[in-house]
């Protein structure tokens, strides 16, 4: 049998109104964020019509109270649906589309999170994925009984143990543990239940999980983080690596580095999909695409542009800087460290003024920006995909639903014509569509290893 051709994977990474900070001001945009279920249904069904692998929800656990009241009052992404709730509802109006929810290890408990994602997996028939994050938002801490944020290193240490507990809980049951035999009266086989009994530095969790085993083995684990520590976490745990780079050379370096780290954790490349963020602005002609981009950029208000940059790089009081002045050197933050370094490097490389950096950040926020025709956008995606910088992309529509519709109607047919992207779904589970192996339950893995010795 001929080896299966490598195909690109695509997720739709969405905020409520769209990726762009002024998306809600676009005349055709969804602007009732966190209120209208119908808007979310339209977005999910658009992604599924495009045969995309998954819908990926960004999330945060705080309303931003930094900056001036004037700036805050102009923000369009203040309220939102809680991810697990909305994705469970969307599972009922879709068939193949995967659902990735962002959920932090910093302000959650492993048992609760494991139970939520296992339940979403049952509701959707095996289409859930967990985006493991360590909260980079200082203000989240104030909503979870803390006076200040945990340090960068402590957040990652906790995250690793958290993920180990969650994955252990997902292995609580063998696939055939539940007999449900009415005649004999046996509901489940007690020998096929596994008690975790985890006792570590941060968590003590007995288990087992009181949710049946996943239809896809386990929910897919997604991780975003480009610092050295973040890359190690990605190589150790992630099945999808969500990453941010602005240029191809950065993407190629990141891809090679993560792949080189995998063997250290006993993993191989076929267990991981690296999917950078990709911000497309596409139209039938290049001039129309540029006009679309310029129109959205013109909606950025100065207080908002500055405030969003402060949030993105975790640095305050930037409104004191002259708009047309240079971007100053800044010390490392305890917030989104890798994103801060990435954007400051972009400013230096492209010789941006402070306001130009605000404008550059307002849409892509450190991800790949691609403006052009379907052919031009597909060319850039193909370059990253074929030249070892990506296995696919998390597509970040500028505004919803229009930018996602443009991508589905214009770019995906071009990728399909080139034989780079599916025409039909291969499977009913997220893991199946991503071509990821079904994980072996750790209790069986131990037995298999013993049998092989």
The answer to whether residue 291 is domain-embedded is no
Angstrom distance (rounded) from CA 47 to CA 33: 18
Closest listed residue to residue 306, CA positions, set 320, 294, 291, 296: 320
CATH code, 403: 3.20.20.30
Determine the Cα–Cα distance for residues 252 and 262; give it in Å rounded to an integer. 16
DSSP string, 335-348: SSHHHHHHHHHHHH
Q: How many CB atoms lie within 10 A of CB 132?
A: 24
Separation between Cα atoms, residue 258 and residue 274, nearest integer Å = 9
Q: Is the separation of the CB atoms in 18 and 375 below 8 Å?
A: no
Enter the tokens of residue 322.
């002259």
* Preceding amide of 401 cis, omega within 30: yes
Instruction: Confirm whether 304 is domain-assigned.
Output: no
Residue found by looking up tokens 């959205």 in the block: 296
Distance CA 92, CA 44 (A): 11
- 365 contacts 15 by C-beta, under 8 angstroms: no
Q: Does a structural domain hold residue 344?
A: no
Residue 327 lies in a domain: no
C-alpha distance from residue 88 to each of 14, 117, 187, 400, 420 (Å): 16, 10, 27, 20, 30
The reply to whether 373 falls in a domain is yes
E strands in 77-127: 98-104
What is the per-residue pLDDT for 444? 81
With beta carbons less than 8 A apart as the criterion, state whether 132 and 234 touch: no
Terminal Cα-to-Cα distance of the chain (whole angstroms):
31
Q: Is residue 335 part of a domain?
A: no
SS3 string of 244-260? CCCCHHHHHHHHHHHHH
Residues of the chain with pLDDT under 70: 1-3, 136-138, 145, 148-150, 152-153, 334-336, 445-453
Helix (H) or strand (E) holding 43: helix 37-49
Query: Does some domain include residue 347?
Result: no
CA–CA separation, 176 and 213 (whole Å): 9
> Residue 236 pairs with which residues in a beta bridge?
none
Total domains, the chain: 1
Q: Is residue 139 part of a domain?
A: yes
Q: Give pLDDT, residue 446.
A: 60
85: containing domain: 9-286+366-452
């Amino acid at each position: 049998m001929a080896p299966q051709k490598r195909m690109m994977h695509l997720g739709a990474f969405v905020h409520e109104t769209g990726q762009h900070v002024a998306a809600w001001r676009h005349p055709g945009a969804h602007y009732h964020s966190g209120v209208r279920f119908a808007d979310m249904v339209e977005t999910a069904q658009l992604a599924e019509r495009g045969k995309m692998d998954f819908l990926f929800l960004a999330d945060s656990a705080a309303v931003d109270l930094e900056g001036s009241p004037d700036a805050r009052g102009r923000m369009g992404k203040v309220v939102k649906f809680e991810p697990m709730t909305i994705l469970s509802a969307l599972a009922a109006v879709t068939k193949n589309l995967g659902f990735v929810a962002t959920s932090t290890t910093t302000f959650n408990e492993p048992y609760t999170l494991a139970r939520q994602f296992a339940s979403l997996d049952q509701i959707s028939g095996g289409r859930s994925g967990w985006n493991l994050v360590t909260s980079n938002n200082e203000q989240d801490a104030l909503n979870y009984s803390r006076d200040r944020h945990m340090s960068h290193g402590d957040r990652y240490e906790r995250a690793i143990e958290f993920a180990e507990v969650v994955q252990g809980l997902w292995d609580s049951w063998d696939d055939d543990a539940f007999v449900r035999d009415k005649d004999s009266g046996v509901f489940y086989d007690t020998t096929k239940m596994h008690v975790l009994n985890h006792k570590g530095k941060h968590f003590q969790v007995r288990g087992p999980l009181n949710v049946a085993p996943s239809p896809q083995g386990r929910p897919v684990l997604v991780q975003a983080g480009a610092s050295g520590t973040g890359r190690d976490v990605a190589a150790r745990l992630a099945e999808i690596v969500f990453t941010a780079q602005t240029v191809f050379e950065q993407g190629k370096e990141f891809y090679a580095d993560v792949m080189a780290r995998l063997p250290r954790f006993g993993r191989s490349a076929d267990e991981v999909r690296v999917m950078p963020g990709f911000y497309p602005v596409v139209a039938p002609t290049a001039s129309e695409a540029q006009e679309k981009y310029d129109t959205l950029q013109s909606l950025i208000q100065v207080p908002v542009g500055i405030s969003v940059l402060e949030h993105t790089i975790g640095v305050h009081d930037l409104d004191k800087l002259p708009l047309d002045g240079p971007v100053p050197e800044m010390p490392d933050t305890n917030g989104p460290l890798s994103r801060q370094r990435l954007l400051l490097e972009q400013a230096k490389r492209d010789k941006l003024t402070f306001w130009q950096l605000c404008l550059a950040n307002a849409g892509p926020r450190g991800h790949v920006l691609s403006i052009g025709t379907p052919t031009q956008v597909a060319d850039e995606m193909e370059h990253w995909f074929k030249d070892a910088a990506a296995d696919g992309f998390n597509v970040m529509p500028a505004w919803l639903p229009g930018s996602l519709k443009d991508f589905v109607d214009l770019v995906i047919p071009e990728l399909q014509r080139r034989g780079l992207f599916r025409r039909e779904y291969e499977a009913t589970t997220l893991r199946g569509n991503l071509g990821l192996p079904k994980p072996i339950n750790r209790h069986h893995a131990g037995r298999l290893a013993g049998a092989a010795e």
